[in-house]
């Protein structure tokens, strides 16, 4: 499979091998060092057939870049796993999506044989998202879709030569693929890669990496607001995606740092959808206007429908995705030409850029011995941070439920609030009494609006 991204990187490498690729906590890395790292990883893939699917679970940003480049040089499709997920499921996920091998980094980078044999065909990558039942679902994208998304985003956002983009989100997320991964390899965009294994790695990188663009999520913006940290003078553009940003946070950020937050809305299945070019939309409660080359409409149910060259392909039949069109479950309305997200038809909500499907968390909790019933709902803690809460009918305590969740779920999906009761409040027909659920949890449910990236 010929890769225009590999060809573009080779051209950049020949033109200036010493040009910086990324700032890291251990020093600047150039194109030559990235090519050398990809060469080394390529030796690990020698026994893997070309035109295979290869899963990648690597938390280190520079090695992740090198691993994707090596897989694409190999002529294979990269399955982009979230390295922050528990280690146990990653082999199952790799197998589920047809990987022949799994590249993962624990103490050292290893290539583990998986044994599946699904061909890459014309797929460059498989991005993972939550399906209608909450289980992982794969979205396939070719190089044309990846490049179309990255170019549309950079053009819409005014990102170009001389910019240094901060990797505050994982490059395995769709948000990171379009804003970080592909621009770095295809366009030569320089990145700032924080040390996410260190508690203050993000702040250290912001202070010393001199980024010009910060693609953030609302949780990071709230954390910055609550700190004494001052943004670097180099920073000219702040983005927010992964969940709807509260207008109050956008306004407070502008007052505190004298920089407006530009809302960005996208989906794993479609790449970028809408962008706030003015920096005023988030304060108005909208997500801006369509990204360049993207047509956005509302279907008969009020759900956001997207048509663009960046829309991916379903790996299994999906009536919402196909022929360059994706119908989201996000409910929307137009306000003065800008899109406002008013809820989610599926019940999915966002926590720190992660989609949380209540059914997925409920199934994990239901597997705890002694649990007889459970309901999971979105929740805001006392600091306004989005999370989820679980009301559990069980003969076990909250600590046992929490331990099980920590072992089985990514941190973003572990309920911050768990309340154990003898039985869930239900009507005579067996339907949950949601007002009573909220009363027992002692919470006010947040706005259920959310965006998927």
CATH value at residue 34: 3.40.50.12780
**According to the model, what pLDDT value does residue 449 have?**
38
Instruction: Note the pLDDT of residue 78.
Output: 98
Return the SS3 of 264.
strand
| Inside any domain, residue 93 | yes
420 - beta bridge partners? 392
Q: Indicate whether 175 belongs to any domain.
A: yes
Does the residue 447 lie in any domain? no
CB 301 within 8 A of CB 287: no
Residue 431: per-residue pLDDT: 62
Let me know whether 299 and 381 are in one domain. Answer: no
What is the pLDDT at residue 450?
38
| Longest Cα–Cα distance in the chain | 72
Distance in angstroms between the alpha carbons of the first and the last residue of the chain:
27
Length of the chain as a residue count: 453
395 and 285, same structural domain? Answer: no
Q: Note whether residue 450 is domain-resident.
A: no
Answer yes or no: is 289 within a domain: yes
Q: Do 174 and 307 belong to one domain?
A: yes
94 part of a folded domain: yes
Q: How many structural domains comprise the chain?
A: 2
Is 453 inside any structural domain? no
Strands (E), 142-196: 164-166, 190-193
More confident residue, 218 or 133: 218
Is residue 353 predicted with pLDDT exceeding 90?
no
User: Does residue 407 surpass a pLDDT of 60?
Assistant: yes
Written in H, E and C, the secondary structure of 331-386 is: EEEEECCEEEEEEECCCCEEECCEEECHHHHHHHHHCCCCEEEEEEEEEECCCCCE
Q: Which residues make beta-bridge pairs with 265?
A: 274
Q: How confident is the model at residue 445 (pLDDT cuts 50, 70, 90)?
A: very low
Higher-scoring residue by pLDDT: 20, 199: 20
The average pLDDT across 131-139 equals 69
**Same domain for 246 and 339?**
yes
Helices in 245-374 by DSSP H: which ranges?
247-257, 281-284, 358-366
Would the pLDDT of 131 be above 70?
Answer: no
3-state helix, strand, coil in the chain (%, to 5): 30, 30, 40
Give the residue carrying structure tokens 């990187």.
Answer: 9
Quick one: 297 and 203 in the same domain? yes
- 365, 371, 374, 377 alpha-carbon torsion, rounded to 10°: -40
Q: What is the share, in percent, of the chain residues with pLDDT greater than 90? A: 69
Q: What confidence score (pLDDT) does residue 426 get?
A: 76
Domain housing 112:
4-344
Contact 210, 198 (CB under 8 A): no
Confidence category of residue 132, pLDDT binned at 50, 70, 90: very low
Residue 314's pLDDT is 94
Tokens in use for 324?
A: 């360059």
- Arithmetic mean of pLDDT, 231-249: 90
Whole-number pLDDT of residue 443:
61
Categorize the per-residue pLDDT at 380 as very low, low, confident or very high, splitting at 50, 70 and 90.
confident
Q: End of a domain among 344, 360, 393?
A: 344
Confidence of residue 116 (pLDDT cuts 50, 70, 90): confident
Q: What is the mean pLDDT of residues 175-184?
A: 97
pLDDT value for 217: 87
Q: How much is the pLDDT for 423?
A: 86
Identify whether residues 309 and 333 lie together within a single domain. yes
Q: Are residues 354 and 406 in the same domain?
A: yes
**Structure confidence at residue 88 (pLDDT):** 67
Domain's final residue, options 291, 325, 344: 344
Same domain, 282 and 325: yes
Bridge partner residues of 380 (DSSP): 386
Is 90 exceeded by the pLDDT of residue 360? no
Indicate whether 235 belongs to any domain. Answer: yes
What digits encode the pLDDT tens for the residues 14-60?
A: 999 999 999 999 999 999 999 999 999 999 999 999 999 999 999 99
pLDDT in tens, 81-93: 988 777 768 888 9
User: Are the CB atoms for 225 and 256 separated by under 8 Å?
Assistant: yes
pLDDT on residue 373: 83
Please give the average per-residue pLDDT across 91-112, as a whole number.
92
Q: Are residues 120 and 66 part of one domain?
A: yes
Boundary-marking domain end, from 344, 365, 396: 344
- Put residue 322 in one of left, alpha, beta given phi > 0 → left and psi -120 to 50 → alpha: left
Residue 427 has pLDDT above 80, yes or no: no
Q: What is the CATH number of the domain that holds 369?
A: 3.30.300.30
Q: Do 372 and 400 reside in the same domain of the chain?
A: yes
Q: Are residues 301 and 361 in the same domain?
A: no
Residue with tokens 């759900």: 303
Same domain, 266 and 398: no
């Amino acid at each position: 499979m010929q890769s225009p991204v590999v060809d573009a990187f080779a051209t950049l490498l020949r033109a200036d091998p010493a040009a910086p690729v990324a700032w890291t906590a251990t020093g600047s890395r150039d194109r030559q060092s990235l090519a050398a790292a990809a060469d080394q990883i390529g030796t690990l893939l020698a026994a893997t057939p070309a035109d295979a699917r290869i899963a990648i679970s690597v938390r280190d940003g520079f090695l992740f870049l090198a691993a994707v480049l090596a897989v694409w040089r190999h002529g294979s499709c990269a399955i982009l796993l979230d390295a922050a997920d528990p280690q146990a499921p990653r082999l199952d996920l790799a197998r589920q999506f047809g990987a022949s091998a799994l590249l993962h980094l624990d103490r050292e980078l290893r290539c583990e044989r998986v044994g599946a044999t699904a061909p890459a065909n014309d797929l460059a990558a498989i991005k993972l998202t939550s399906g209608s039942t909450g289980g992982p679902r794969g979205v396939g994208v070719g190089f044309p879709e990846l490049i179309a998304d990255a170019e549309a985003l950079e053009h819409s956002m005014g990102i170009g030569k001389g910019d240094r983009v901060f990797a505050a989100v994982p490059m395995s997320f769709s948000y990171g693929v379009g804003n970080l991964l592909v621009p770095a390899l295809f366009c030569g965009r320089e990145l700032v890669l924080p040390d996410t294994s260190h508690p203050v790695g993000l702040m250290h990188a912001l202070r010393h990496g001199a980024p010009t663009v910060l693609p953030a999520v609302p949780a990071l913006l709230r954390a910055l607001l609550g700190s004494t940290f001052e943004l670097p003078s180099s920073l000219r553009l702040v983005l927010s995606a992964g969940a709807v940003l509260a207008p109050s946070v956008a306004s407070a950020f502008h007052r505190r740092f004298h920089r407006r937050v530009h809302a960005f809305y996208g989906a794993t299945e479609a790449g970028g959808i809408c962008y706030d070019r003015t920096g005023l939309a988030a304060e108005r409660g909208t997500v801006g206007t369509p990204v360049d080359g993207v047509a956005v409409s509302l279907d008969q149910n009020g759900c956001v429908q997207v048509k663009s060259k960046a829309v991916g392909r379903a790996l299994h039949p999906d009536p919402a995705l196909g022929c360059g069109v994706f119908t989201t479950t996000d409910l929307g309305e137009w306000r003065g030409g800008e899109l406002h997200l008013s809820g989610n038809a599926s019940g999915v909500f966002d926590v720190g850029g992660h989609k949380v499907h209540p059914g997925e968390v409920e199934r994990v909790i239901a597997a705890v011995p002694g649990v007889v019933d459970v309901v999971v709902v979105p929740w805001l803690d006392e600091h306004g941070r989005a999370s989820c809460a679980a009301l559990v009918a069980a003969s076990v305590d909250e600590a046992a439920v929490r331990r099980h969740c920590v072992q089985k779920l990514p941190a973003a999906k572990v309920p911050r609030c768990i309340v154990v009761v003898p039985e869930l409040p239900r009507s005579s027909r067996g339907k949950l009494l949601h007002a009573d659920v909220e009363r027992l949890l002692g919470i006010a449910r947040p706005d259920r609006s959310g965006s998927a990236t």
